[in-house]
Copies of this chain bind each other. A is one copy, B any other.
Amino acid sequence: MKLIQSSHNPTYRELLRLSQGKGDDGQVLLEGIHLCQEWLRHRGQPELVVFDAERLEQLPELQALCDGLAGVPMLAFAPPLVKSLAQVKAPQGVFFRVSVQAPVVPESLVSNSLWLDRIQDPGNMGTLLRTAAAAGVQEVYASQGCADAWSPKVLRAAQGAHFALHVFEKTDLKALCSRLQVPLLATSLEHATSLYDAALPSACAWVFGNEGQGVHADLLSRADRRVFIPQAAGVESLNVTVAAGICLFEQKRQNG
């Protein structure tokens, strides 16, 4: 395995750019054993693997990962290069470069889906993807103004959920309504019925909105149903990821 030590190495420079977010051609840098293993499980082999030269010698877990990657181009990076690529304080010493292509929006939406309207916080964005995957929702439509789904922080919070989902970014959610063959449900405190009194459909589009402002009025006005989660009086409303989890799993419970 070739050892790269120079910070002028062109591959290192390219990966350094990708460590800040998805490249123009859909190239993404995945960091850490768990994310890499999830990629292998869901999407197959990466385009390139980079190991921390020192850690590869020391950690049996990295060695096992390496042994399973016969045929994949591999590089060993000197620890200082790994440190500058890493997005966490204690890097595990492995990166995959992979390519992701934007999925094509279906002509008509018939499956359960999650719509995200200007979710700003990368941690929330990732946790919403993770929650969707756990609830068995496979399509996620994110509006302009959402955190970049393939950025390192979102990837970290989602723990590999991306790879089991179709994530549509920069979607015009208002325009998407015309393709909907299932009801659009939104959480709202006004003109809404309790989540537990609503007979929830087995398939629908759930829309959750910006952390401060909620779902945009234009979109809210198109919702077929508005529901609220009954909460204790006089306290702050739920974080959007928790609210989404409660709704998606209540739907799952009702529909067995």
- Residues of A whose CB lies within 8 Å of any CB of B are 38, 41, 123, 127, 130-131, 133-136, 157-161, 164, 196, 229-232, 234-239, 241-246, 249-250, 252-253
Contact = CB atoms under 8 A, between A and B. Distances in A.
**Copy total for this chain:** 2
B134 A236 contact: yes
Given A196-B253, A253-B196, A245 B234 contact: no
Given A123-B123, A238-B130, A136 B196 contact: no
Contacts of A243: 245
A159 B239 CA distance: 9
Contacts of A236: 38, 130, 133-134, 158-161
17 contacts: A38-B236, A41-B234, A123-B123, A127-B239, A130-B239, A131-B238, A131-B239, A134-B231, A134-B236, A134-B237, A159-B236, A160-B235, A164-B234, A164-B235, A239-B241, A241-B241, A246-B246
Contact of A238 (B136, B230, B245): B245
A225 B87 CA distance: 39
Contacts of A161: 235-236
A229 B249 contact: yes
Given A135-B232, A159-B236, A242-B245, 10 more contacts: A38-B236, A127-B242, A130-B236, A133-B235, A135-B231, A136-B232, A164-B235, A241-B242, A242-B242, A249-B250
